[in-house]
């Protein structure tokens, strides 16, 4: 098993899997499986990228239309917010609040 990735929150560690990433939402007692593209989006969010930059990169890599990728990216980020898994706390940073 690989090392945990940067966490969506202090209590939600993630682990890379062969199909993407698994988020352990300790506060709500659930595991959330995220596919490879979702994992890629999380990685870019951790690096401080905004949704438009992420969509442009994925569109370029996949050849999919930018509007479709942007729509999917925005929906995915909204899902993370709805699940209270975003904003994320990148590794090395501490929540000072």
Main-chain phi, psi angles of 61, to 5 degrees: -70, -40
90 within a domain of the structure (yes/no): no
Residue 9 belongs to domain spanning: 4-82
43 within a domain of the structure (yes/no): yes
61 within a domain of the structure (yes/no): yes
88 within a domain of the structure (yes/no): no
Which of 24, 44, 43, 40 is closest to 32 using CA atoms?
Answer: 24
Alpha carbons 19 and 89: distance in angstroms, whole number: 23
What total number of domains does the chain contain? 1
Alpha carbons 28 and 93: distance in angstroms, whole number: 23
Helix (H) or strand (E) holding 81: helix 66-82
pTM of the model: 0.74
- Look at residue 13 and tell me whether its pLDDT is greater than 70: yes
93 within a domain of the structure (yes/no): no
Tens-digit pLDDT profile for residues 37-92: 999 998 999 899 999 999 999 999 999 999 999 999 999 999 988 888 877 544 43
64 within a domain of the structure (yes/no): yes
Determine the pLDDT at residue 93. Answer: 41
Supply 38's token pair.
């979702």
21 within a domain of the structure (yes/no): yes
70 within a domain of the structure (yes/no): yes
């Amino acid at each position: 098993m690989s090392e945990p990735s940067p966490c969506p929150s202090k209590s939600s560690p993630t682990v890379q899997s062969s199909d993407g990433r698994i988020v352990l939402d300790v506060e709500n007692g659930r595991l959330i499986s995220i596919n490879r593209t979702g994992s890629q989006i999380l990685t870019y969010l951790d690096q401080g990228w905004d949704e438009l930059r992420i969509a442009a990169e994925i569109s370029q890599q996949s050849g999919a239309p930018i509007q479709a990728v942007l729509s999917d990216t925005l929906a995915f980020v909204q899902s993370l917010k709805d699940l209270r898994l975003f904003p994320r706390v990148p590794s090395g940073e501490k929540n000072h609040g």
